[in-house]
Amino acid sequence: MNNAVELLTSTSEWQDIAPLLSVRELNKFYAPGKGCGDINFDLYPGEVLGIVGESGSGKSTLLSCLSARLTPDSGQVLYNSEQFGEMDLYAGEESQRRVLMRSEWGIVHQHARDGLRMNVSAGANIGERLMAVGERHYGDIRAKAEEWLTAVEIDTGRIDDRPSQFSGGMQQRLQIARNLVTHPKLIFMDEPTGGLDVSVQAKLLDLLRNLVSRLGLSVIIVTHDLAVARLLAHRLIVMRRGAVVETGLTDQVLDDPQHPYTQLLVSSILQN
Amino acid sequence: MSAATAIGYNFAYLDEQSKRMIRRAILKGVAIPGYQVPFGGREMPLPHGWGTGGMQVTASVIGEADKLKVIDQGADDTTNAVSIRRFFAHTAGVETTELTAEATLIQTRHRIPERPLQADQILIYQVPIPEPLRFIEPRESETRKMHALSEYGAMQVKLYEDVARFGHIATSYDYPVMVNNRYMMDPSPIPKFDNPKMSMMPALQLFGAGFEKRIYAVPPFTQVESLDFDDHPFEVQSWEDACSICGSDHSFLDEVIIDDNGSKMFVCSDTDYCRERVTEGFVGEAPAQLETEQ
Ligand SMILES: Nc1ncnc2c1ncn2[C@@H]1O[C@H](COP(=O)(O)OP(=O)(O)O)[C@@H](O)[C@H]1O
Ligand SMILES: [Mg+2]
Ligand SMILES: [Zn+2]
């Protein structure tokens, strides 16, 4: 799909590139079979990793653990931070994790209301992260908000409207703009196209794909939709009942699935 | 320690144990300027909107030698101010006064007196909503974390919204401040005109929120800064007119309708300050109608 990245991801392991994020023996269970366990993988800079699997397989639980929002029962998440250097997320201070969340990271929630402030304007939603990192010039903040509205294809004339006046697709795009304004390098997304009409989904996916490649973002995206995974992800992790059953390059996993569960997933999508 | 003044009441109404508990919260507040200290609020025999938070603080710091002044909207003669003053005269037997210069304790709603306060005075604010971050973050667990980690970017969002909507920072009361470069604080519904007075004030400032059971403090000579933007700096209200009674061109003015034709005049909201100036011989240019009436 993307030769440069494919080459990077398949060769980086024996080349001298440090992973951006490494997961070691991570476990988080609410109850037996409910959660995720025995998770190990590395994410390299510029890589888009898809986490797929049916509903209830533990994808969101894993994503929350990776993005410092849910403390695992055991295991480590190692992150190579611009500001703090190599860090073991849950061994460090909560204050550092929260700094990461509003600077080097972005989190795009499935439900826009979880990721947006619905009672303030679109401009304020985008500007908040700038103000959180110390920006104090109104004119600059507003100019950057306009710039990012344009980047996510929202008319700048809507800058003073509240997100509640936006369509579902626009709300998701606003969430993306709100995250990208501080130039994060790693984005976590949980079903970003879930609940949207098919045509709206297609437009959002197109936008995401362009932004990710233009900005050289690293992404971990959770989706139960294999079509979304195929379009965005370089590499896939397939989960079932909280465990990883298969990993590999996206095309390999989807075109030549090895595990019976992946085969079932792939064939069921073909039947739809 | 103190004899009951009115039959059946302890000195200043509250029992000694409650007062000690409130004093501990006050001391903690003084030690951590701007930090909201939770306390086990007590019921006062007035409804919450009447400033029971301020009254509990007053009851806990007042002594027999104190002289109490109570102001509401800058005036000493509103129903609310009169009831609170009477309450303490009755339950603590203390002297009360309308003179800022004479008072040792001043309980206030809406204003800081114009006459600069001194080191031997204590200003006690009645606070309706102590949490400045509440409008943007309804979860208490989250606002507590935001304070702990000095995550105050969201507060700036409020000002951003003002400028986006009105072209300038339109917030004119309850204007958020940063205390001692550390804690974001709600100054209670005083006009932003009074914000600069809070900074480096020689008097101790105590804040009591009765409904939310929070106490906070600004110790004497503490820096209090009003939030703003580099390109929209903090400004206080100003008036074209001067006070019609005392001629003051530097106090907070209220607009008053003086006849059935809707004629207006501006007068000092701080009635004691205005009176003091008149005693000193200052006069304003009262509107013609008013002069003929007198
Ligand atoms: N907070 C929670 N408490 C208890 N069980 C939970 C909680 N969150 C998720 N689960 C359960 O854990 C399993 C995995 O959930 P989740 O990670 O949301 O899966 P997915 O995102 O793949 O649909 C499900 O059975 C779900 O019901
Ligand atoms: Mg999920
Ligand atoms: Zn006057």
Secondary structure in 3-state letters for B17-68? HHHHHHHHHHHHHHHCCCCCEECCCCCCCCCHHHCHHHHHHHHHHCCCCCEE
Q: What token pair was written down for B233?
A: 């700096």
Q: How far apart are CA B143 and CA B150, in angstroms?
A: 10
Q: CB distance B161–A139 less than 8 Å?
A: no
Question: What is the mean predicted confidence (pLDDT) over A75-79?
Answer: 98
Q: CB distance B160–A138 less than 8 Å?
A: yes
Q: How far apart are CA A180 and CA A207, in angstroms?
A: 13
pLDDT at B137: 87
Q: CB distance A132–B163 less than 8 Å?
A: no
Q: How far apart are CA B249 and CA B196, in angstroms?
A: 17
Q: For chain B, which residues make up each domain, given as ranges?
A: 16-131+177-226, 238-286
**Is residue A118 within 8 angstroms of chain B, CB to CB?**
no
Q: pLDDT tens across A124-177, in order?
A: 999 999 999 899 999 999 999 999 999 999 999 999 999 999 999 999 999 999
Is the confidence at residue A7, as pLDDT, over 90? Answer: no
Is the confidence at residue A71, as pLDDT, over 50? Answer: yes
Question: What is the mean predicted confidence (pLDDT) over A257-262?
Answer: 95
Q: What radius of gyration, in Å, describes the C-alpha atoms of chain B?
A: 20
Distance of CA A61 from the midpoint of ligand 2 (Å): 7
Q: pLDDT tens across A41-70, in order?
A: 999 999 999 999 999 999 999 999 999 999
Q: How far apart are CA A9 and CA B51, in angstroms?
A: 65
Q: How far apart are CA B5 and CA B91, in angstroms?
A: 6
A4 pLDDT tier (thresholds 50, 70, 90): very low
The parts of chain B modelled with pLDDT lower than 50 are 1-4, 292-294
pLDDT at A264: 93
Query: DSSP string covering B124-149, please?
Result: EEE-S---TTTTT---HHHHHHHHHT
Q: How far apart are CA B205 and CA B29, in angstroms?
A: 10
Is the confidence at residue A87, as pLDDT, over 80? Answer: yes
- Nearest CB among A95, A119, A127 relative to B160 is that of A127
Q: Quick count: other Cβ atoms within 10 Å of Cβ B100?
A: 22
Q: CB distance A131–B153 less than 8 Å?
A: yes
Q: pLDDT tens across A96-105, in order?
A: 999 999 999 9
**Is residue B15 within 8 angstroms of chain A, CB to CB?**
no
CB B22 within 8 A of CB B60: yes
Average pLDDT, chain A: 92
- Whether domain B16-131+177-226 has CATH 3.40.50.11310: the reply is yes
Residue nearest to atom 6 of ligand 1 (CA): A30
Is the confidence at residue A270, as pLDDT, over 80? Answer: no
Q: What token pair was written down for B93?
A: 């037997």
Q: How far apart are CA B149 and CA A12, in angstroms?
A: 37
A10 pLDDT tier (thresholds 50, 70, 90): low
A60 lines ligand 1 (CB under 6 A): yes
- Given ligand 1 and candidates A26, A28, A29, A30, which is best to mutate, with the most ligand atoms within 8 Å of its CB? A30
φ/ψ of A42, rounded to 5, equals -120, 145
pLDDT at A9: 52
A13 pLDDT tier (thresholds 50, 70, 90): low
Q: How far apart are CA A122 and CA A100, in angstroms?
A: 23
- Nearest CB among B136, B165, B231 relative to A139 is that of B231
pLDDT at B289: 53
